[in-house]
Structure 1
Amino acid sequence: RRFLVVTALFAAPGLFAVAFTGRHELHAAINAALPVACDPLFRYGTHLADGLVPTGIAVVLLLTSTWRRFLMLGLSTAISALVVQFLKRNVFGDMLRPVEHLASMPELRLIDGVELNHHFSFPSGHSTAAYAMCLALAVLSGRVRWAGWLAVGAAFMAFSRVYLSQHFTEDILAGAFLGTVTAWAVHRWLYGQAMMDRTGLDRRPVGLLAQKK
C-alpha cells in the first residue's frame, strides 16, 4: 500500500502538468530547469530499468527462492514488457520521441554520450519495467519502509527517461501505470486464496530439479 501511495504522490504533479501544459513546453521547461551536474546520475541510473536487471533478479530468485516469489517478479516484468511492446508498435506506433520534435524545442539540451531513440515513444518501456520490478520487489520484501524507497527508486528510473530526452512526461506516466497495474494483478492472483492453497508454489525450483535427478 505504501508503494501505491508514494507512486500516487509522484504521479499527481506530473498528471497535472500534462493536463495543463503543452507537451513541448513541459519537456523544454523540465530540460531547462535541471542542473548539468545530474547528467551522470541519470545517464547511468536509467540502465537499472533495462531488461537485464529484472531478468538477473528473476534468475537469482529461481535459483535461491520459491516458485511463487520467482513468478511474482518474473510474470510482473514479462507480462508488462509484452503489453508495452504491443502498445508501442501496434497501437501508438506513430508516437515519436523528443529528438524528433527539436524544431518545436530548439533550446533543448541533449546529454553527451546518450544515443537517442527516435520512434515508439508511448508508453515508456523503461518506466513500465521500473514500476513492475519495484512493486514486485516491494511485495517480496514484505517491509513497509522498503516499499516506500522502492517507489522512489521506480520514480527515479522513470524520470531519467525524461531527463535524457528519451521520452515525454506522458510516456513515463503511462508506463508507470502499466507496470504498477500489471504487478498488482499478478500479486492478487499469486497471493489470492485459490493460489495460496497450491503449496507447490512454495517449493524451491532448484530443490525440485534435484529431487527429480
Structure 2
Amino acid sequence: MNELAILDAIQPIHTPWLDALVAAYTSTSDVGQIWILLGIVLAIIPKTRKLGAAVLVAVLIGAIVTSGILKPLIMRPRPCDVNPLVPMIVDRPHGSSFPSGHATAAFAAFGALLFSKGPKPLVIVVGIGAVLMALTRLYCYVHYPTDVLAGTVVGLLAGFAAAKIVEAASRKLQERRSQSHT
C-alpha cells in the first residue's frame, strides 16, 4: 500500500469537532512551543531542573537535525502538495515533508524524559502526547507515515543524546562544586 493510500484511508474519519480538536492540538507544536514550554516549566522547578534541561536540549538537537539538515537535504514534497484536492484543516505548511518536525519535537521531549528516567506518570503522559502529535500530522494530510516515523526516530535519538549530555554536564558540575569545597 502506498503512503498516499494510507493517508486517503484516514480521511473518512474527519468530523467538524475532530478537525477542530486536531487542528488546535497540532498547532501547539508549530515551532515546538508545547515541548519547549514543558522544558521551561520543568527547568524552573528545582526537583525537575535536569529533566527540563534534557527536554530543551533534546528539542534543540531535534530541530537542528530535522529542520537544519534533513529537510533541506531531502526536500520531499508534502502529501497536500502532491494531492491538493484534500481539504486542509490547517494552514498549508511550507518546506520539505521529511521528516516531521512536529513528531521530532514531540518524541525528543518524550525521549529526554524516558532516557533521563523521569517520573513514570509524566513519561506516560508525554509519550501519549507525542503519539497523538505524530498522528495529527497524518490526519492533517501534511506528512506521510514515513515522515512521522523518521521524526519519531530522530526525536528519540535526540532525547537519548540530550539525556546523556545533561547527565555528563551535571556530573561535571558536581565534581567542580566538590573540588571548590576542598
**Structure 2 length-normalised TM:** 0.80
1-structure distance, mates of 2:176, 2:97: 37
Which residue does 2:26 correspond to in 1?
46
Q: Does residue 59 of structure 2 align to residue 77 of structure 1?
A: yes
CA distance in 2, matches of 1:47, 1:88: 19
Kept in 2, the 8 Å contact 1:72–1:190? The answer is yes
The residue that corresponds to 2:3 in the other structure is 23
Match of 1:121 in 2: 97
Maintained 8 Å contact 2:107/2:156: yes
How far apart, in 2, do the equivalents of 1:24 and 1:201 lie? 55
Unaligned runs of 5+ in 1: 1-20, 203-213
> Counterpart amino acid of 2:35?
P
Match of 2:129 in 1: 153
- Where 1:49 maps in the other structure, the secondary structure is coil
Q: 1:173 is matched with which residue?
A: 149
Provide the identity percentage: 27
Give the 3 Å change call, closer, same or farther, for CA 32–82 of structure 1 in structure 2.
Answer: same
1:198 deviation in Å? 3.1
Say whether the 8 Å CA contact 1:49–1:127 is kept in structure 2: no
Q: Residue 80 of structure 1 aligns to which amino acid in structure 2?
A: G
Q: Which amino acid aligns with 2:27?
A: H
Residues 1:201 and 1:155: Cα distance change in structure 2 (over 3 Å)? farther
* SS class of match (1:44): helix
- Would you say 1:57 and 2:38 are equivalent positions? yes
Name the SS of the counterpart of 1:198 in structure 2: helix
Q: Paired residues, what number?
A: 174
TM-score, normalised with respect to structure 1:
0.70
Structure 2 gaps, min length 5 = 178-182
